[in-house]
Amino acid sequence: MKIAEARVVVTCPGRNFVALKLVTDDGVTGVGDATLNGRELAVAAYLREHVCPLLLGRDPHRIGDTWQYLYKGGYWRDGPVTMTAISAVDTALWDIKGKVAGLPVYQLLGGAARSGVLGYAHANGATTAEALDDVARQVADGYRAVRIQVAVPGVEGTYGVGHGGHYEPAHGAAPEETTWSTERYLSFIPSVFEAARERFGPDLRLLHDVHHRLTGIEAARLGKALEPYGLFWMEDPLPAENVDAFRLIRQHTTTPIATGEVVTSIWHCRDLITEQLVDYVRTSVTHAGGITHLRRIFDLADLYRIRTGSHGPSDSSPVGLAAALHVDLAVPNFGIQEHMRHPTEADEVFPHAYRYADGYLHPGDEPGLGVDVDEDAAARFPYRPAYLPVARLHDGTLHDW
């Protein structure tokens, strides 16, 4: 069996996605997600120009060898563009292997370790009251875990808060300029979770995303202030490369910490894991080397009783979510899976077998990943440039968004 074709599909059904489709000489297809929000065409070109030609003629069953060939063989290792491209190839090869075996990918990973994948929904609002009404909607929809983001008074364009309805941060031919004030944020956020606990009681799992904006000591202060409300996690208090600052947070607070959505390899989260500086590792199948590499990261985490909390935003495609769900179902140390629904047009371009019911997701039982890209439907939604925002302090200094 040989890889006979490798096609890159760029499409914008509600938002931009890149998919890789591999076809074998006997007609088996496999898909991988190659979406890197705001830098989509860089990955598409990396695949088309440098990776696809090398795949032709290779044995699709040699998943591990192909991974090493693309990682070590490129000489220039790592980085989000390279790793997203490798992720897409790896995921597509697992899809092919599953189809050839006639089994869903989670069976090849050891089989189901649980009956369903606990998902967390997003709730947001311009005010606390609005956000809590959104939490109530998610709870009514069955979710047992909800992330809450609320616009900080006096801070325009707070991260995670939609412009009415669905939250989609990437838009426009240049990044939107937003403002940020750590002081206002820190004094406001604890009141949101106090109100959430009052309204929803002790059982609902509550999550919050800080989106890399604090220093170590600021994050420590926030973690302490949130302790009375028993958060499931405080996400990305600061950029993951600052391992020392995570050490500082750990000295001050027992609020659980999740990080890793921008981490692209095991090397970048090794110290966070082995020093137990985080409680949940959020690396994604789309950006951290596909199913093969994600399993290595999650296995390392399991040695330290650290659980998984895979990134699952609507800017990873349904192919990425499907692949994540197969891993989630099989690994011993699964924690939670982010679930942000895709726009309807995206579900149409990427028909899938995964399903959501009553707080839990399941990848389905079709052979392979159980997801595809409909190339005719994809062609109806041409790429539109869309960038993530930037954040500035009130004096104009560029801050982390």
Binding site residues, ligand CS2, CB under 6 A: 37, 169, 209, 211, 261, 311, 313, 315, 338, 388
DSSP class per residue in 94-136: HHHHHHHHTSBHHHHTT--SSSSEEEEEEEEESSHHHHHHHHH
Q: Binding to Mg ion by residue 134, rule CB under 5 A?
A: no
Shortest Å distance, C-beta 56 to ligand CS2: 31
Residue 315 binds which entry of Mg ion, ligand CS2, none, CB below 5-8 Å type-dependent:
ligand CS2
Q: Which residues of 185-213 are buried (b: 16+ CB within 10 A; e: fewer)?
A: bbebbbebbebbbeeeeeebbbbbbbbbb
Residue 338 binds which entry of ligand CS2, Mg ion, none, CB below 5-8 Å type-dependent:
ligand CS2
Pairing state between β 233-235 and 390-392? unpaired
Shortest Å distance, C-beta 236 to Mg ion: 5
For tokens 């302790």, what's the residue?
Answer: 227
Binding mask 193-212 for Mg ion (x = CB under 5 A): ----------------x---
Q: Which is nearer to ligand CS2, 388 or 390 (CB)?
A: 388
Residue 37 binds which entry of ligand CS2, Mg ion, none, CB below 5-8 Å type-dependent:
ligand CS2
Q: At 93, which amino acid appears?
A: L
User: What token pair was written down for 111?
Assistant: 């089989």
Pairing state between β 355-357 and 29-33? unpaired
Q: Which is nearer to ligand CS2, 24 or 37 (CB)?
A: 37
Q: Binding to Mg ion by residue 33, rule CB under 5 A?
A: no
Q: Which is nearer to ligand CS2, 134 or 315 (CB)?
A: 315
Beta strand residue intervals within 306-353, DSSP E: 307-308, 337-338
Residue 313 binds which entry of Mg ion, ligand CS2, none, CB below 5-8 Å type-dependent:
ligand CS2
Which long-range contacts link 155-161 to residues 24+ away (Cβ below 8 Å)?
155/179, 155/180, 155/181, 155/184, 155/185, 157/389, 157/391, 158/185, 159/209, 159/211, 159/213, 159/391, 159/401, 160/122, 160/124, 160/209, 160/211, 161/124, 161/125, 161/126
Shortest Å distance, C-beta 223 to Mg ion: 16
Count of Cβ atoms closer than 10 Å to residue 397 Cβ: 9
User: Residue number with the shortest CB distance to ligand CS2?
Assistant: 37
Q: Which is nearer to ligand CS2, 66 or 255 (CB)?
A: 255
Q: Which is nearer to ligand CS2, 7 or 399 (CB)?
A: 399
Residue 293 binds which entry of ligand CS2, Mg ion, none, CB below 5-8 Å type-dependent:
none
Shortest Å distance, C-beta 180 to ligand CS2: 14
Shortest Å distance, C-beta 345 to Mg ion: 24
How far is Cα 313 from Cα 342, in angstroms, rounded to an integer? Answer: 9
DSSP code for 152: P
How far is Cα 223 from Cα 94, in angstroms, rounded to an integer? Answer: 39
Which positions are annotated as active-site residues? 159, 211
Shortest Å distance, C-beta 184 to ligand CS2: 20
Residue 58 binds which entry of Mg ion, ligand CS2, none, CB below 5-8 Å type-dependent:
none
Binding site for Mg ion (CB under 5 A): 209
